[in-house]
Amino acid sequence: MNWLDRSRSLAPPGFNRWLIPPAALAVHLCIGQAYATSVYKSALIGHFEVSQTAIGVIFSIAIVMLGLSAAFMGTWVERSGPRKSMFVAATFWGAGFLVGAAGIFTGQLWLLYLGYGFIGGIGLGIGYISPVSTLMKWFPDRPGMATGMAIMGFGGGALIASPMSTALLKAFDGFDPLTDGADWIASGASVGKLFLTLGVVYFLVMMYGVANIRVPAPGWKPRGWDETKTRSSAMVTTAHVSAANAIKTRSFWLLWAALFLNVTAGIGILEQASPMIQDFFRGADGNSAVNAAVAAGFVGMLSIGNMAGRFVWSSTSDVIGRKRIYMVYLGIGALFYVVLAFLGGGSMLLFVAMAVVIISFYGGSFATAPAYLKDLFGTFQVGAIHGRLLTAWSAAGIAGPLIVNGLLDAQGKPGTMVAGNYLPVLLTMVVLLVIGFVATTMIRPVDARFHEPEEELASATPKGH
Amino acid sequence: MRAQQPESGGTTDVPVNPAVGRLVFGWLLVGAPLAYGVITTLSRVGQLFQ
């Protein structure tokens, strides 16, 4: 289909670059649904009559496929341009829901693994990286803010999907607040209908992004932007590094380690958010001052912190630099974890404030990463390099829960623990963050031997950036 | 539509077409659901400090 080609998405002269962020957000808000799977988890457990783990595997497959597809398809995404890759992402994400719905209606769990997990996961990975490098090319003066806007959408997607899915499930089930109690669980059939609805709606919204994404013309730059000012820092390169060479550099792996450790530490809170706040405020009588509804409010607060951090901290990195902001994420993050561990149980306000800031750093590290890669490796194949970096996320998605659950299992049973039982987990997170902080301080500009020769760049650069 | 600030478009300076209609539609499409999600979530957060 020619209209999907990079050459057909070249922006005309005078194109307004502020049309690009909504196109990017249309994709990220849809794929951000991946963070809202808990809404129908109990319904699927009841429908298939399987364990929590069997249903949890669906999300794990999706996140592993996100990392793998971003890593292996990154070079293709860079070569094909944002329009074609966003179209492929929309197709996979939408088809994943439809195949998943078929699995629910026929009672075949493997179809749900294949649909939402495998096919949808590919859509997640391609969709996540598709608009990022294009945004940085449209906003060379504020790359952190630009990527922060899009990646904020991934955090915000769950905020939309969670209440919207609950409302749809209630509508499909004919929920009656007078007869259906607080322990109402949706039927499998209504989850199937939800999947059909989400598959179609998400595909259409993502197609808005496909239709409206544009790449800037060669040589385009914002009016009044002085390139030399942006590149005055030694940490911002004027050269370009290929994806194949980037992964041979020490700086790539140091950044990979910093992201992996920060995400692992963030998952420590996200995984346990609801039981954690209840355990921190458990009295001597064994009852918690925090009930399940209040704990749900805390989880919502973390979601907002996660989303806001992506935009605020990534935008801040345009002013103070990527290396400094990563030192804040990891250094201040470690300090806040110590405060949380030793003083969090004494004050609800302090506990919530510390947790929200830590999670905002978690989100910020995701959003700042593409701009950091651009500074270190240039824009030549930054999307492909970003895809390879996202394997840190997949690895953290496995390591974080393993560490947290392993340490907490040794402390006692859920519902009986107190603040002191969380010390080993929280102090382990502090150690991880300190190691990440040291890794960040060691990141240096990439050696010139990894830079692409000018003639290679001229022949490899596609029409349009 | 009235052209606003000029920006560099390749080698020549071309006035930017503000495309107000498309701009408003695009930002509403993504902004309205996001606002719905944030407000719904904040209403639950309110229970934290009651």
| pLDDT higher than 80, residue A306 | yes
Residue A461, pLDDT score? 56
If asked whether residues A102 and A239 sit together in one domain, one would say no
Of A14, A219, A304, the CB nearest to B38: A304
Reading the block at residue A367, the tokens are: 């959003």
Nearest partner of A393 among A130, A70, A155, judged by Cα: A70
Residue B9, pLDDT score? 46
Which residues of chain A have a CB within 8 Å of the CB of B15?
A: 14
Q: What is the pLDDT of residues A64-98, one digit of tens each?
A: 899 899 999 988 998 899 999 999 999 999 999 99
Which residues of chain A have a CB within 8 Å of the CB of B26?
A: 19, 22-23, 208, 212
If asked whether residues A102 and A173 sit together in one domain, one would say yes
Q: How far apart are CA A465 and CA A454, in angstroms?
A: 15
Of A159, A293, A352, the CB nearest to B37: A159
If asked whether residues A253 and A199 sit together in one domain, one would say no
Helix (H) or strand (E) holding A221: none
Largest CA distance in chain A: 74
If asked whether residues A261 and A400 sit together in one domain, one would say yes
| pLDDT higher than 50, residue A274 | yes
From A219, A253, A283, give the residue that closes a domain: A219
Query: In b/e form, how buried is each residue of A288-324, taking b as 16+ CB within 10 angstroms?
Result: bebeeebbbbbbbbbbbbbbbbbbbbbbbbbeebbbe
CB contact under 8 A, A293 and B47: yes
Residue A1, pLDDT score? 63
Residues A326 and A381: beta-carbon distance below 8 Å: no
Residue B5, pLDDT score? 44
Residue B6, pLDDT score? 42
Which of A17, A28, A151, A159 best probes binding to B when mutated, by most B CB atoms within 10 angstroms?
A159
What is the pLDDT averaged over residues A319-332? 96
What 3-state class would DSSP assign to A317?
Answer: helix
pLDDT band at residue A287, thresholds of 50, 70 and 90?
confident
Q: What is the pLDDT of residues A134-159, one digit of tens each?
A: 999 999 999 999 999 989 999 899 88
| pLDDT higher than 60, residue B4 | no
CB contact under 8 A, A348 and B49: yes
From A192, A219, A246, give the residue that closes a domain: A219
| pLDDT higher than 90, residue A262 | yes
* Residue A93: inside a domain: yes
Residue A103, pLDDT score? 97
CB contact under 8 A, A19 and B47: no
Provide the mean pLDDT of chain A. Answer: 89
Angle CA A148–A154–A155, to nearest 5: 85
Q: What is the pLDDT of residues A96-121, one digit of tens each?
A: 999 999 999 999 999 999 999 999 99
> Which residues are registered as beta bridge partners of A10?
A215
Residue A182, pLDDT score? 64
pLDDT band at residue A459, thresholds of 50, 70 and 90?
low
Nearest partner of A446 among A291, A247, A284, A311, judged by Cα: A247
Nearest partner of A238 among A442, A379, A372, judged by Cα: A379
Q: How far apart are CA A139 and CA A296, in angstroms?
A: 37
Q: Does B14 lie at the interface with A, CB-CB under 8 angstroms?
A: yes
Number of domains in chain A: 2
pLDDT band at residue A379, thresholds of 50, 70 and 90?
confident
Nearest CA in chain B to A208: B26
Q: How far apart are CA A382 and CA A133, in angstroms?
A: 6
Nearest partner of A275 among A406, A424, A426, A417, judged by Cα: A417
Nearest CA in chain A to B27: A22
Residue A252, pLDDT score? 97
pLDDT band at residue A184, thresholds of 50, 70 and 90?
confident
Nearest CA in chain A to B45: A297
* Residue A37: inside a domain: yes
Q: Any residues with CB less than 8 A from the CB of A45 and at least 6 apart, and which?
A: A51, A52, A54, A55
CB contact under 8 A, B8 and A222: yes
Q: How far apart are CA A93 and CA B3, in angstroms?
A: 38
Residue A42, pLDDT score? 83
ipTM score assigned to the predicted complex: 0.83
If asked whether residues A179 and A317 sit together in one domain, one would say no
If asked whether residues A256 and A287 sit together in one domain, one would say yes
* Residue A461: inside a domain: no
Q: How far apart are CA A433 and CA A276, in angstroms?
A: 20
More confidently predicted of A280 and A1: A280
Q: Any residues with CB less than 8 A from the CB of A176 and at least 6 apart, and which?
A: none
Residue B7, pLDDT score? 47
Q: Which residue has the tokens 């952190």?
A: A144
In total, chain B counts a number of residues equal to 50
Residue A460, pLDDT score? 61
If asked whether residues A251 and A283 sit together in one domain, one would say yes
If asked whether residues A188 and A287 sit together in one domain, one would say no
Residues A199 and A101: beta-carbon distance below 8 Å: yes
If asked whether residues A302 and A329 sit together in one domain, one would say yes
* Residue A464: inside a domain: no
Residue A232, pLDDT score? 60
If asked whether residues A120 and A175 sit together in one domain, one would say yes
From A196, A219, A242, give the residue that closes a domain: A219
* Residue A69: inside a domain: yes
* Residue A462: inside a domain: no
CB contact under 8 A, A159 and B40: yes
| pLDDT higher than 50, residue B29 | yes
Nearest partner of A329 among A313, A341, A344, A305, judged by Cα: A313
What CATH code is carried by the domain that includes residue A377?
1.20.1250.20
| pLDDT higher than 90, residue A322 | yes
Q: Any residues with CB less than 8 A from the CB of A394 and at least 6 apart, and which?
A: A63, A64, A66, A67, A68
| pLDDT higher than 60, residue B1 | no
More confidently predicted of B16 and A258: A258
More confidently predicted of A346 and A110: A110
What is the pLDDT averaged over residues A176-199? 86
CB contact under 8 A, A223 and B46: no
Nearest partner of A145 among A370, A306, A305, A465, judged by Cα: A370
Chain A nearest C-alpha distance from B28 (Å): 9
What is the pLDDT averaged over residues A368-396? 92
Reading the block at residue A18, the tokens are: 């502020």
pLDDT band at residue B3, thresholds of 50, 70 and 90?
very low
Which of B14, B27, B41, B50 best probes binding to A when mutated, by most A CB atoms within 10 angstroms?
B41
Q: Which residue has the tokens 């919530």?
A: A352
CB contact under 8 A, B17 and A16: yes
What is the pLDDT averaged over residues A248-273? 91
If asked whether residues A115 and A242 sit together in one domain, one would say no
Beta carbons within 10 angstroms of residue A420's beta carbon: 12
Q: Does B32 lie at the interface with A, CB-CB under 8 angstroms?
A: no
pLDDT band at residue A414, thresholds of 50, 70 and 90?
low
- What is the span of the domain harbouring residue A363? 227-456
* Residue A400: inside a domain: yes
If asked whether residues A353 and A428 sit together in one domain, one would say yes
* Residue A425: inside a domain: yes
Of A22, A163, A307, the CB nearest to B26: A22
| pLDDT higher than 70, residue A162 | yes
CA A109 vs. chain centroid, Å, equals 26
